[in-house]
C-alpha cells in the first residue's frame, strides 16, 4: 500500500484544512485501498476533524501533547507563529520522513519547512507542493522555490490562471505544474435537511475570514447604498479575523448595526446560504473558493467580483452568476440592479448552469486527477 502524508499545520479556521480532509476522504473512498493517506498533526489542530465518519489516520509529530497557543491574527504575528512551528517541527518532521519513508508528502501550509528539509537532505519521499491563492513572490519564497525546483516532484494549483502565472516566472518546469481542482463537493452533505430556522428575514450573505483579502470594508460601504433602496434586506457576514474590530466600528459609525450582522465562524454555512437571497463575494483575490461552490450547490445566486484568480476560471456574467469589477462601487451597484431585475425563470436557469459548471470540484474528479500525479 502506497503511503501518502499530508503536511498542513494551521492556527485558525480556514478553508485549506477542509480541502485536505476532502482529499484524504476521496483517496480512501475511491482508491480501493491502493493508497494509505495520513495527516501529520502538530499540536492537536486536527482534533475537531477526527470524526468516526471520516475514518482518517493522524500522525502525531510529537510524542507528548503540545498545546501551543499561537497568535492567529495580523500578518506579522501569524508569521511569527509559523516560525515557531518550523523551529518546533524541524527535527521531528525530519525523523518522521527518514523513518517512515512515505512515497509522497503533499505540502499545503507552512510550506517553507518541508521545502528547506528537501533542499538540505535527500529523501526517498516525493514532495508535492500545493500553491494556492495569490502568492507573493518575495525574495525568500522565489529563491527557495528556485533552489528546490529540481528536487520537487510536482507542483499543483487549483486553477489554470494561477498555473499560467507561475509558468511565466520560469521557476518550475512546465511538466511539473499541474492543475488539481479542490475536492469541495460531497453530494450527500447537500442532501441533508435544513434544520436552521431563518430568523433574519431577507438577507444577502458573505462568508470568509475578516481579512484585507476578503474586502468586507468595501462590501459594507456598498451595502450602505443598497439599503437605501432595498430597506427590507440585511447583510450577514460569517467569519472571524483580524479586521473584526475595524469592521464593527465601521458598521456602528454608519448606524447599520441592525442591518449588517457579523455572526462569526459557522460550521453550517450551507444552511445560511439556502435561506439567503444571494451570496456576495467581494474578495480582492481568491481561489475557486469553497464558498462559491457551496453557494451553487445550495441553489444560491452568486454575485462576485471579477478578482484573481479562481472565480475567473468558471464564472460567466449573467450566464451562471453576476459579476462586477473588483473594488468598483458603481459596477457593484449597477450589476446588483441587473440581478434584482431578472425574472424568476431567468434566475432558475442561471442556478442550473452554475451547478453544471462546478462538477469538476467533486471528490471523485479530484481523486482521478490526483491519481495521475501519484501513480
- pLDDT tens per residue across span 123-162: 999 999 999 887 888 899 999 999 999 999 999 999 888 8
| HEC string for 147-194 | HHCCCCCEEEECCHHHHHHHHHCCCCCHHHEEECCCCCECHHHHCCCC
Q: Name the least confident of 185-199, 240-254, 326-340.
A: 185-199
Grid coordinates given for 344? 424568476
Q: Which pLDDT score is estimated for 228?
A: 94
Place of cell 521531528: 92
Residue 228, CA distances (Å) to 111, 203, 222, 234, 258 in order: 46, 14, 11, 11, 14
Element (H, E) at 264: strand 260-264
- Residues 6+ away with beta carbon under 8 Å from 191: none
Between 37 and 43, name the one with better pLDDT. Answer: 37
Partners of residue 103 on adjacent β-strands: none
Q: Which pLDDT score is estimated for 371?
A: 95
Question: pLDDT category, 314, cuts 50, 70, 90?
Answer: confident
Share of residues in the chain with pLDDT > 70 (%): 90
176 with 217, same domain: the answer is no
Q: Which pLDDT score is estimated for 276?
A: 96
Closest among 159, 135, 273 to 213, alpha carbons compared: 135
Q: Which pLDDT score is estimated for 316?
A: 87
Residue 42 and residue 135 in contact, taking contact as beta carbons nearer than 8 Å? no
157 with 212, same domain: the answer is no
Between 270 and 189, name the one with better pLDDT. Answer: 270
Distance from C-alpha of 173 to C-alpha of 365, rounded to nearest angstrom: 25
Q: Which pLDDT score is estimated for 359?
A: 83
Mean pLDDT of the chain: 89
Helix (H, G, I), strand (E, B) or coil at 140: helix
175 with 196, same domain: the answer is no
* Strand order through the sheet with 58-60: 58-60, 35-41, 2-7, 104-107, 126-130, 154-157, 177-179
Between 192 and 21, name the one with better pLDDT. Answer: 21
Share of residues in the chain with pLDDT > 90 (%): 63
Mean pLDDT of 93-114: 95
Residue 261 and residue 234 in contact, taking contact as beta carbons nearer than 8 Å? yes
How many C-alpha atoms does 58 have within 13 Å on its Cβ side? 22
Judged against a pLDDT cut of 90, whether residue 36 lies above it is answered with: yes
139 with 239, same domain: the answer is no
Judged against a pLDDT cut of 70, whether residue 114 lies above it is answered with: yes
Mean pLDDT of 345-356: 93
353 with 366, same domain: the answer is no
- Residues 6+ away with beta carbon under 8 Å from 300: 205, 273, 274, 276, 278, 279
Question: pLDDT category, 67, cuts 50, 70, 90?
Answer: low
Residue 297 and residue 190 in contact, taking contact as beta carbons nearer than 8 Å? yes
Distance from C-alpha of 336 to C-alpha of 18, rounded to nearest angstrom: 31
Q: Categorise residue 198: left if φ over 0, alpha if ψ from -120 to 50, beta otherwise.
A: beta
- Residues 6+ away with beta carbon under 8 Å from 157: 130, 131, 132, 163, 166, 177, 178, 179, 180
Q: Which pLDDT score is estimated for 69?
A: 60
Supply the DSSP symbol for 44.
S
Q: Name the least confident of 39-43, 111-115, 146-150, 210-214.
A: 39-43
Q: Name the least confident of 13-22, 146-155, 326-335.
A: 13-22
**Any idea what the CATH number is for the domain that residue 240 is in?**
3.40.50.2000
Q: Which pLDDT score is estimated for 289?
A: 67
Q: Which pLDDT score is estimated for 336?
A: 97
100 with 49, same domain: the answer is yes
177 with 199, same domain: the answer is no
34 with 102, same domain: the answer is yes
Q: Which pLDDT score is estimated for 195?
A: 74
132 with 46, same domain: the answer is yes
68 with 123, same domain: the answer is yes
pTM comes to 0.83
57 with 166, same domain: the answer is yes
pLDDT tens, residue by residue, 171-191: 999 999 999 999 987 656 555
Closest among 273, 276, 208, 270 to 243, alpha carbons compared: 208
| Euclidean distance between the first and the last CA atom of the chain, given in angstroms as a whole number | 12
Query: How many domains in the chain?
Result: 2
Question: pLDDT category, 83, cuts 50, 70, 90?
Answer: confident
Closest among 133, 153, 101 to 19, alpha carbons compared: 133
Q: Which pLDDT score is estimated for 293?
A: 87
179 with 220, same domain: the answer is no
Judged against a pLDDT cut of 90, whether residue 201 lies above it is answered with: yes
Task: Print the domain residue range for 254.
Answer: 189-357
Amino acid at each position: 500500500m502506497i503511503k501518502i502524508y499530508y503536511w498542513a499545520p494551521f492556527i485558525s479556521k480556514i478553508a485549506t484544512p477542509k480541502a485536505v480532509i476532502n482529499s484524504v476522504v476521496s483517496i480512501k473512498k475511491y482508491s480501493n485501498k491502493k493508497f494509505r493517506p495520513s495527516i501529520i498533526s502538530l499540536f492537536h489542530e486536527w482534533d475537531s476533524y477526527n470524526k468516526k465518519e471520516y475514518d482518517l489516520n493522524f500522525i502525531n509529530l510529537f510524542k507528548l501533547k503540545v498545546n501551543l497557543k499561537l497568535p492567529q491574527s495580523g500578518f506579522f504575528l501569524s508569521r511569527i507563529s509559523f516560525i515557531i512551528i518550523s523551529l518546533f517541527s524541524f527535527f521531528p518532521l525530519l525523523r518522521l520522513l527518514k523513518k517512515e519513508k512515505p512515497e509522497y508528502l503533499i505540502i499545503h501550509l507552512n510550506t517553507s519547512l518541508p521545502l528547506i528539509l528537501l533542499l538540505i537532505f535527500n529523501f526517498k519521499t516525493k514532495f508535492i507542493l500545493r500553491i494556492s491563492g495569490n502568492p507573493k513572490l518575495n525574495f525568500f519564497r522565489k529563491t527557495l522555490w528556485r533552489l528546490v525546483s529540481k528536487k520537487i516532484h510536482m507542483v499543483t494549483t487549483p486553477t489554470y490562471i494561477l498555473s499560467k502565472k507561475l509558468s511565466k516566472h520560469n521557476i518550475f518546469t512546465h511538466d511539473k505544474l499541474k492543475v488539481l481542482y479542490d475536492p469541495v463537493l460531497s453530494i450527500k452533505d447537500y442532501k441533508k435537511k435544513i434544520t436552521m430556522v431563518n430568523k433574519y428575514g431577507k438577507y444577502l450573505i458573505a462568508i470568509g475570514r475578516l481579512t484585507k483579502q476578503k474586502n468586507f470594508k468595501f462590501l459594507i460601504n456598498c451595502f450602505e447604498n443598497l439599503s437605501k433602496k432595498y430597506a427590507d434586506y440585511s447583510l450577514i457576514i460569517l467569519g472571524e479575523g483580524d479586521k473584526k474590530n475595524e469592521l464593527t466600528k465601521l458598521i456602528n459609525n454608519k448606524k447599520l448595526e441592525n442591518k449588517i450582522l457579523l455572526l462569526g465562524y459557522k460550521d453550517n454555512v450551507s444552511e445560511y446560504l439556502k435561506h439567503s437571497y444571494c451570496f456576495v463575494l467581494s474578495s480582492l483575490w481568491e481561489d475557486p473558493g469553497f464558498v462559491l461552490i457551496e453557494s451553487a450547490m445550495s441553489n444560491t445566486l452568486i454575485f462576485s467580483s471579477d478578482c484573481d484568480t479562481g472565480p475567473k476560471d468558471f464564472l460567466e456574467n449573467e450566464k451562471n452568476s453576476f459579476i462586477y469589477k473588483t473594488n468598483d462601487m458603481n459596477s457593484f451597484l449597477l450589476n446588483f440592479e441587473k440581478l434584482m431585475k431578472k425574472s424568476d425563470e431567468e434566475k432558475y436557469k442561471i442556478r442550473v448552469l452554475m451547478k453544471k459548471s462546478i462538477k469538476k470540484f467533486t471528490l471523485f474528479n479530484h481523486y482521478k486527477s490526483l491519481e495521475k500525479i501519484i501513480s
